Amino acid sequence: NAGVTQTPKFQVLKTGQSMTLQCAQDMNHEYMSWYRQDPGMGLRLIHYSVGAGITDQGEVPNGYNVSRSTTEDFPLRLLSAAPSQTSVYFCASSSGRPQETQYFGPGTRLLVL
């Protein structure tokens, strides 16, 4: 049982490049979310999904796209990277019931030059 996995661990991009951050979970969780973590700002929700085929925007969605074709996978796409997107990105999954545990992946550290 791997839990939540994320790839890559590190990435350096040039401004304007695109890329996809991968996230997968093997716990059959309906809820999956993407957060970014910046110094002094905690974790902020980018996009989330309540099940396959259903996604919605979080607090800071601009510049990011998501899709959820399967229960297991929830990729995050950066369409045209900007230096402001330099951050640590975390994927999380849960059963979706209130107060349930959020299981986080190990994170992807992204630097946009």
Partner 1 sequence: TQLLEQSPQFLSIQEGENLTVYCNSSSVFSSLQWYRQEPGEGPVLLVTVVTGGEVKKLKRLTFQFGDARKDSSLHITAAQPGDTGLYLCVRCGSARQLTFGSGTQLTVLP
CB 9, min distance to partner 1, A: 9
CB 26, min distance to partner 1, A: 16
What are the DSSP calls for 17-65, one per residue?
--EEEEEEESS--SEEEEEEE-TTS-EEEEEEEEETTEEEE-SS-TTEE
Annotate each residue in 12-31 with x if it binds partner 1 (CB under 8 A) or - if it does not, as one string.
-------------------x
Pick one of 19, 27, 45, 52: the residue that binds partner 1 (CB under 8 A). 45
Between CA 102 and CA 97 the distance in angstroms is: 10
- 111 binds partner 1, rule: CB under 8 A: no
| Comparison of 17 and 95: residue with beta carbon closer to partner 1 | 95
Q: Are 9 and 106 in contact (CB under 8 A)?
A: yes
**Residue 85 DSSP code:** G
| Residue 89 φ then ψ, to 5° | -110, 130
Choices 18-26, 45-53, 60-68, 69-77 (CB under 8 A): range interacting with partner 1: 45-53
Residues 62-101 that bind partner 1 (CB under 8 A): 90, 92, 94, 96, 98-99, 101
